[in-house]
Amino acid sequence: MSREHFSSRSTAVLAMAGSAIGLGNIWRFPYMVGENGGAAFILVYLLATLLLSLPIFFSESIIGRATHQGTIGAMKALAPGTAWRHMGLLTVLSPLIILSFYSVVGGWSVEYLLKSLTFDFQGATQEDLGAAFGGFISSTWGPLVCHTVFLSLCALIILAGVKKGIEQFSKYTMPLLFLLIVVIMVYSLSLPGASEGVKYLLKPDFSRLKASSVAAAMGQSFFSLSLGVGTILTYSSYIRTEENLLSSGVGTAAFDLGFALIAGFAVMPAVFAAGIAPGAGPGLLFETLPYIFSKMGMNLPWLSSLVAVLLFVTVLVAALTSAISMFEVGVTFLVEERGVKRSRATGLIFLGTWALGCLCSLSFGPLDGIRLFGKNIFGFCDALTANFLMTFGGLLFTLFVGWKMKKEQVRDEFTCGGQLRFSARIFPAVYFLIRWIAPAVILLIFVTNLLL
């Protein structure tokens, strides 16, 4: 069977960046930075991206491109009859758990889009805005309805088969989102008191780094690049054999990192200008942006409303493109491995993630009392995936490439049979990272974090 391929390297990078860039960059990165003390966390995050995420990225793309198959097929092809085929389960379960709480945050963006359409932020004080957000997420019905709307949109896109259309569409909205974040960053930097925020992002204070921050930085990096769950593996299976895996990995990581950093510089100065606590948690983005819009509105009301509406629309599109790729993994699994009809599979995945998402949503309000390892249900699902399942998956992928695959095959894949000179020159270093450094460091951080 002949398989489709990305038409060029830049298409592959754009597609992978499309999956990677999402709420992880705009919503999760700024609040993680705020919870873990700022610049020092960013440094650890950069290090984790270089030493751990890139090797996992290369591992997944080597496996995917070598077999031109998804995770389960790739494992069956490279390691027939071994326990490696169970990797498939991890790659189906993790995205679905992520989707459950992702959809809750997607729902918050739906609500905030509606608010900006009705000029809700204009003239409100910081107290009003903070109270409005807290009141909203801890209420029962509003967030549940929004979560349902977001997840239904995903299901409809999958059912209607317009997934390709949405992905094409996101090619145009992504640059718009980038532009808007830059506009917001510039405005945020101009607010009185913003310089404290800049200092917070640039001047590392290692005493503010908590013991758990290293694991959190690693988890954030994996989350943001969609690593450890077979997504990059599957995307890479569509990359042509003659393309350069080194540059598609570095290219995707650079896009993703750039986006996250700009979001950090858009949010944090305004956090300090508004006097919000940087460690406010998952609500940080939604408490800060309205403040920026209300300030903007004092000088330029129409521009403020326009930017607010455009921003929440594009955030929603970015969230949707990431969310449908998680949804699709589950649907494909049920259709191809279990012989379920596509419409039925979509319904089943919808119900499962909707139910878990409802629990996540309610865990900010009526179910706040339920604590798992000290976290509410939402925080638990988030930490379970980012700090545990994705990390574990990443570890397994590097071990597979470093120890199970033949070194020659890995080298051939990475260097296109030796034709790519630069890749060939740095291959020993990359291989060393994949075989030794990444697994050892991940394991160390993982175990330390479990014991803490």
Binding site for ligand TRP (CB under 6 A): 19-20, 22-25, 95, 98, 223-224, 226, 229, 231, 322, 325-326
Nearest to 17 by CA among 321, 256, 326: 256
Q: Could you give the count of Cα atoms lying within 13 Å of 268 in the half-sphere of its Cβ?
A: 28
Min dist. Cβ of residue 224 to ligand TRP (A): 5
Of 191 and 396, nearer to ligand TRP (C-beta) is 396
Of 24 and 251, nearer to ligand TRP (C-beta) is 24
Structure token digits, residue 50? 């270089």
Min dist. Cβ of residue 177 to ligand TRP (A): 12
Min dist. Cβ of residue 80 to ligand TRP (A): 26
Which residue sits closest to ligand TRP, CB atoms considered? 24
- Dihedral of CA 413/418/421/427: which sign? positive
Tell me the three state secondary structure of residue 70. Answer: coil
Min dist. Cβ of residue 226 to ligand TRP (A): 4
Distance, CA of 295 to CA of 347 (rounded, Å): 43
Alpha helices in 49-125 (DSSP H): 54-67, 71-78, 87-117
Of 112 and 121, nearer to ligand TRP (C-beta) is 112
Of 23 and 62, nearer to ligand TRP (C-beta) is 23
Q: What angle do CA 345, 348, 349 make, to 5 degrees?
A: 85
Min dist. Cβ of residue 422 to ligand TRP (A): 28
Tell me the three state secondary structure of residue 238. Answer: coil
Min dist. Cβ of residue 55 to ligand TRP (A): 18
Of 162 and 189, nearer to ligand TRP (C-beta) is 162
Of 91 and 213, nearer to ligand TRP (C-beta) is 91
Distance, CA of 320 to CA of 314 (rounded, Å): 10
Structure token digits, residue 6? 């990305």
Min dist. Cβ of residue 167 to ligand TRP (A): 12
Q: Are 99 and 353 in contact (CB under 8 A)?
A: yes
Distance, CA of 13 to CA of 258 (rounded, Å): 14
φ/ψ (deg, to 5) at 375? -115, 155
Of 120 and 256, nearer to ligand TRP (C-beta) is 256
Q: What's the one-letter identity of residue 273?
A: A
Q: What's the one-letter identity of residue 31?
A: Y
Of 232 and 270, nearer to ligand TRP (C-beta) is 232
Which of the 8 DSSP states describes residue 52? I
Which of the 8 DSSP states describes residue 375? B
Nearest to 382 by CA among 248, 220, 149, 257: 220
Min dist. Cβ of residue 297 to ligand TRP (A): 28
214 burial type by CB count under 10 A (0-12 exposed, 13-18 middle, 19+ buried)? buried
Report residue 215 CA to chain centroid gap: 16
Min dist. Cβ of residue 222 to ligand TRP (A): 8
Of 129 and 181, nearer to ligand TRP (C-beta) is 181
Min dist. Cβ of residue 429 to ligand TRP (A): 26
Of 224 and 376, nearer to ligand TRP (C-beta) is 224
Helix-, strand-, coil-residue percentages of the chain, each rounded to 5? 80, 0, 20
Structure token digits, residue 205? 């204070």
Of 71 and 415, nearer to ligand TRP (C-beta) is 71
Min dist. Cβ of residue 154 to ligand TRP (A): 12
Distance, CA of 293 to CA of 124 (rounded, Å): 10
Which of the 8 DSSP states describes residue 437? I
